Amino acid sequence: MNFSPLIRNREYIAGCNPSMKYDGSMPASEWQKKARKELSSLIGIDEIESFLPVSTVVSESECELYKEIVIRIETERNFFTTATLRVPAGLSAKAPLAVYLVGKTEDLDAALKDEGSVSALALGRGMCFMALEQRNFNSCFAITNEISPEAFTRTTWCECFRSSMRSAMIGRSTVGDRVWDLMRTLDVVLANYCFIDADNISVIGYRGNGTTAYYAAAVDERISSIVVCSSVCSWNSSLTSFNQCSCHYVPNIVNSFNMGDIGGLIAPRRISVLAYEEDEYFPLEGVSESYEEMKKVYSALGADKACELDVLAGDAIFDAATFIAKL
């Protein structure tokens, strides 16, 4: 006799036949149009008031290797995020852009180090680099004055919880909010910085930021490639097996999509999925399942080579070199 509601909910999810699952019954491109519309609605970007983003350059500086522009962007009325854009010194032609979705402050600091960081490696390849702060982190930090930072553990009461729950109540999601922020930031950057090659925009994300990158690429076709790690994994292998941060969860997603179906919306654009053999929270079995799902659409569009899964030894870490090598 089962008294566990979680077991019941996992059974429900396992038994779902998502309405937007790609089954080859229609041309892949036609499926993508329909599915993209459904996904946009589910993540709640349809609920966000149409808004022309407003940007302010907070600071500009130069060094031997790059020019840095810190931009504050109002992505929706009275909400601001911060992008740190670095342009290789002496840039004389359009360059690709690598966007790094960043969470905690220490991750931003690490990303902007002058050596060995994701920004340094991207710049070293002649790319422009942009670190974009995600909602509920850094300058977008949600108030958690009821718990001290020391008390923060992998529990319900993380930075994102209250913000994510409020977002859900109004028919949105933190995933959708972050996707929106990225889309509006791209609007600003492409409108104001003509040295960015608009046909060559890559987005990198790890864990929750990988989730954002994944969903963003699914709905915004300006993103030409993504590299994600510890994000793409079947629902029951990850989000319903462990207390992941509230910001990962999209209401009602399960009835429309498996995780892998969402990847199908990125085809034929490039996706590189990095998976670690010992990743406890996004286990390999679930990653592989999702990867096989998205491959169906890539194959249907003749883009098999644009879809990659790399399995790496050990526990999941963010290794800048591994990510940049995939761009």
Partner 1 sequence: MISIAEHKNYELLTGITPAMRYADGMDFSEWQKTARAKLFDILGMNKYEKCDPLFNIEYKTETDTYTEYRFTVQSEPNYFVPSVMRIPKGMETQKNPLMLCLQGHSTGFHISLGKPIYEDDEITISGGDRDFCVRGVEEGYVCVAIEQRGFGECKGGEELPRGCHLTSMAAMMSGRSTLGERAWDVMRVLDAILEHFDFIDEEKICLMGNSGGGTATYYTCCVDERISLCMPSSAVCSWDMSVGVKRHCTCNYVAGIAKYFDMGDLAGLIAPRKLIIVHGITDVGFYKPGVDKCYDLAEKMYDVAGVPQNCDLVTGPFGHRFYADLSWPVVHKMMGTVSKKED
Cβ contacts of residue 281 below 8 Å, gap of 6+? Answer: 230, 238, 242, 244, 316
Residue 16, strand partner residues: none
Q: From the CB of 35, what's the least distance to partner 1, in Å? A: 17
**Binder among 202, 240, 272, 288 for partner 1 (CB under 8 A):** 240
Distance of CA 177 to the CA centre of its chain: 11
- Three state DSSP letters for 168-200: HHCCCCHHHHHHHHHHHHHHHHHHHCCCEEEEE
The single residue among 109, 255, 277, 280 that binds partner 1, judged by CB under 8 A, is 255
Q: Is 22 in the site for partner 1 (CB under 8 A)?
A: no
Give the separation between CA 36 and CA 217, rounded to whole angstroms.
10
Q: Is 19 in the site for partner 1 (CB under 8 A)?
A: no
CB 135 within 8 A of CB 124: no
Scan residues 219-238 and list those touching partner 1 (CB under 8 A). Answer: 235
The edge-to-edge listing of strands for the beta sheet with 128-133 is: 54-62, 66-76, 79-88, 128-133, 95-102, 196-206, 225-229, 270-276, 307-312
Give the list of residues 6+ apart from residue 290 with CB closer than 8 angstroms, or none: 232, 233, 234, 258, 259, 260, 263, 273
In the complex with partner 1, the residue whose CB is nearer, 93 or 143, is 143
Q: What track of x and - describes contact with partner 1 for positions 122 through 151 (by CB under 8 A)?
A: -------------xx--xxxxx--x-----
- For the record, the structure tokens of 327 come out as 């761009």
Report the residue number, 8 or 33, with the smaller CB distance to partner 1.
8
DSSP conformational letter for 298? H
- The residue within the footprint of partner 1, chosen from 11, 114, 221, 280 (CB under 8 A), is 11
Q: Residues in contact with partner 1, total (CB under 8 A)? A: 58
Choices 110-118, 189-197, 211-219, 249-257; region in contact with partner 1 by CB under 8 A = 249-257
The least distance separating partner 1 from the CB of residue 175, rounded to whole angstroms, comes to 11
Tally of CB atoms within 10 A around 195: 13
Check binding of 105 to partner 1 (CB under 8 A): no
Q: Which of 63, 151, 252, 321 binds partner 1 (CB under 8 A)?
A: 252
Q: Is 45 in the site for partner 1 (CB under 8 A)?
A: no
Residues that bind partner 1 (CB under 8 A): 1-13, 16, 47, 72, 76, 78-80, 135-136, 139-143, 146, 155-157, 161-163, 165-172, 174, 177, 235, 239-240, 242-244, 246, 249-255
